[in-house]
Chain A
Amino acid sequence: MKNKSLSFWLFLTPTLVALALVVFIPVIEGLFYSFTDWDGLTFTKMVGFQNYITLFHDKAFINAFWFTVGFVIVTVIMLNVIGLGLALLVTQKFKGNNFLRTVFFMPNMIGGLILGFIWQFIFTQGFQALGNALHMDWLQNWLTNETTGFWGLVIVTVWQMSGYIMIIYIAYLQNIPNEIIEAAKIDGASAWQRFTKITFPMIAPAFTVCMFLTLSNGFKIYDQNLSLTNGGPYNSTQMLAMDIVNTAYNSANFSLSEAKAIVFFIIVAAISLLQVAYNRKREEDL
């Protein structure tokens, strides 16, 4: 198809129009409004970098930033360790391994909002009951402070996404030719040696994919946050996405919310790109 041909542009029109209306025009408007005193309808003047200066002194935003960073670090590690562990488990030959795949992946089908409601019951009622039955104090009063709110969010995310990460690792594990493993066995390599010397390097591309997915998903989480803790108590478990939404729709501070959203965009894009570049390089080195 030629650039100038009519059909080339007709084929592209629906997506390009939608992309422009839904993503590119709004993001440019948003960038512009972040330098104004916009109230959602009109603006009276340009304010320069005032909104950006305000957000770096905004306690809620800074708190949400560090809370989110901690959450992302913990979940990226746990999801990759548990996801790979589950993948190694269900690729062994034993009865019921296919059924287990189905089970581990199932939470991923349910939306974050409903997952958060499910776990609100588990944490507040189920944990309470277990704590009483087993006389374990640490199982009581979950979601009433920042620490249990944090680990609550981590547990929900791990329960939801491990199966997803597992599926990706399985795809790469199944690509390892059986002959290599068999040859290593004949040469007398132990199970641990086979894992570290063969399996691990051969699934390196899977790490790139899974790190990217878990990192960017972790930063963008909103639904689970809303339905599990709603940022409480006292906004202590509010993550970045939620802080931006609340700045707009609860505090009606639209230009500040836009500035926060632009900073959020830069953080997420930078991490994603750096991470992909780094992993590409590491794969080549291996």
Chain B
Amino acid sequence: MNKKSRSAIGIVGILLGILWLFPFYLIVTNSFKTPKGIFASVLSLPHPSTGTNYVNSFHALNFITSLTNSLIITVCSVLVIILASSMAAYALQRNHSKLSSALLMLFISAMLIPFQSVMIPLTANFGAVHFLNMWGLVVMYLGFDCSLSVFLYQGTLSSIPIAMDESAELEGASRWQIFTKVIFPMLSPITVTVAILNIIAIWNDYLLPSLVLPQAQYTIPLQMFNFFGEYTKQWHLALAGITISIIPVILFYLFAQKWIIKGVTDGAVK
């Protein structure tokens, strides 16, 4: 490629990058304005700028509580999904029978069922046994998200030779020891993928937790929804709230970007 066309491509790239970032620019700059400032000019930089929007929306969002709830639910669900799915995939992959292929098909077919088809009976059943809370939610996430995770683990397991199991067995290891000491450590690349995919999905989920969680256990998206309903047309507060609530996600992205890109690619391609 010659120099001219290379710099032309660079310029197109920069322009598109600016276009992509422009919404973030508008949200962040306006979150520092007074209501009057937003009314006067949306496109300009904040002048005078104020931090009170952040103080107010931080309290209105109950941010520490909702951040903690989001963290507990996401971390617990992802750990449970990783452990249970890798175990299931191990059992299915090391058993070459019609039964295990039928069970794998069962997992895959569950992926085709949209959430709306199960939502009402699901919440009714869990409600009947008083499990409409964050622990019930963890079980639900295991049910909804294990299919893809089992499928991903199953693919990777097929590349780990069965000789590994057999030699450990000869040394007298139990099935559980073989799995935890020999097999699971070898799965860590795909474990990262499973973790990333589930973290993104669960952290951002709205509809399911909105049907399940009591107000004291509200996560960030649920709190944002309530907050937005209360402060409609008060954009100065709403924008500060949006900025606060996306900061954890952006930090996580910038920190774990390499794994996220790999995880997202694996999840879609495999």
Contacts and interface: CB of A to CB of B under 8 A. Distances in A.
A94 interface: yes
Given A12-B103, A121-B27, A227 B114 contact: no
B30 A129 contact: no
B140 interface: yes
A22 to B, nearest CB: 3
A109 B250 contact: yes
B115 to A, nearest CB: 8
Interface stretch (A51-59, A98-106, A146-154, A278-286): A98-106
Contacts of A277: none
A209 B95 contact: no
A70 interface: no
A247 B208 CA distance: 16
Interface in B1-21: 1, 6-7, 9-10, 12-14, 16-17, 20-21
A40 interface: yes
Contacts of A108: 200, 264
A130 B41 CA distance: 10
Contact of B207 (A29, A101, A245): A245
A93 interface: yes
Interface in A222-259: 222-223, 226-227, 241, 244-245, 248, 254, 257-258
Contacts of B238: 117, 121
Which bracket fits the contact residues of B? 35 or more
Contacts of B250: 106, 109
B265 interface: yes
B17 A100 contact: yes
B84 interface: yes
Contacts of A109: 200, 249-250, 252-253, 260
A95 B269 contact: no
B225 to A, nearest CB: 6
B32 interface: no
B27 A7 contact: no
Given A29-B121, A112-B206, A126 B26 contact: yes
A151 to B, nearest CB: 15
A106 B257 CA distance: 10
A133 B94 CA distance: 66
A159 interface: yes
Interface residue tally on A, bucketed by range: 35 or more
B206 A223 contact: yes
B194 interface: no
B23 A27 contact: no
B152 interface: no
Nearest to B98: A3
Contacts of A94: 6-7, 9-10, 13
A12 B83 CA distance: 11
Contacts of B135: none
A164 B265 CA distance: 9
B204 A112 contact: yes
A133 B264 CA distance: 40
A97 B249 CA distance: 22
B9 A92 contact: yes
B10 A261 contact: no
A23 B23 contact: no
A99 B246 CA distance: 20
B150 interface: yes
7 contacts: A25-B121, A33-B121, A100-B16, A104-B16, A109-B260, A164-B268, A258-B120
List of 3 A-B pairs having minimum Cβ-Cβ separation, nearest first: A22-B143, A111-B204, A11-B91
